[in-house]
Amino acid sequence: MPTEKPPIVIKKYANRRLYHTGTSTYVTLEDLAQMVKAGEDFVVYDAKTGDEITRSVLTQIIFEQENKEGGQNLLPVTFLRQLIRFYGDSMQSLVPSYLEVSMNNFAREQQKLRDQIAQAFGPGTFQALDDHVRANMTFFSEAMRMFTPFAARRAAAEMNGAGEVRMPDGKAVEGRPGEPPADIDALKTQMAEMQAKLDALSRK
């Protein structure tokens, strides 16, 4: 019966040097990061005490990646703040399992999502989509607020006899009382087209 390959043992010495027992060489945090990306499993032990310190070393790798010059940050500040708040909270014990399941599901689906988007829109779509979202974040935020029932009722209530609607940002949009402005209709059309594309992707 085939057995699962045992994890590679990494020893960390007092001088912070990391020793790869499999290759009998010293490695860096960047080397360990590449091992993780390649799917190589390893455990890290304190060379002096024998304690397992894999978690702390992996945390150091994340810290290095997040602070790498020219690198891409994966952890939003809001997420980090919320994570810190969970320490000592009554829900703390549930957080690790929740994050593990969420990341496993995301890892399982990411390649399928990449293939579908690349097939539908071509290579480089992810970067273009990210740039587009960043450039239009304010627009999307206002659009979503306009489509909520509360904002719709507020806009209708603020329509005056001259046919003006005061939008959430205070901008006046012309229109007849009781009818949505033309800009809203155009936005609805764009949202419908976007939804149609997403529906087509989900059927593939």
- Outline where 136-181 has alpha helix (H): 137-146, 149-157
Question: Which residues does 43 contact at the CB level (< 8 Å), separation at least 6?
Answer: 7, 8, 9, 10, 52, 54
Question: Which residues does 107 contact at the CB level (< 8 Å), separation at least 6?
Answer: none
Strand partners, 76: none
Place of tokens 């059309």: 189
Q: Given a cut of 50, is residue 172 above it in pLDDT?
A: yes
In this structure, how many other beta carbons lie within 10 angstroms of the beta carbon of residue 171? Answer: 11
Is pTM beyond 0.75 here?
A: no
Q: What is the mean pLDDT of the chain?
A: 74
Cβ pair 204, 116 in contact under 8 A: yes
Say which range, 42-51, 74-83, 134-143, 188-197, has the weakest mean pLDDT.
134-143
Q: Given a cut of 70, is residue 129 above it in pLDDT?
A: no
- Digit-coded pLDDT (tens) for 11-33: 999 888 999 999 999 999 999 99
Q: Given a cut of 90, is residue 1 above it in pLDDT?
A: no
- Digit-coded pLDDT (tens) for 34-78: 999 999 999 999 999 999 999 999 999 999 999 887 777 889 999
Locate 86 and state its tokens.
């969970």
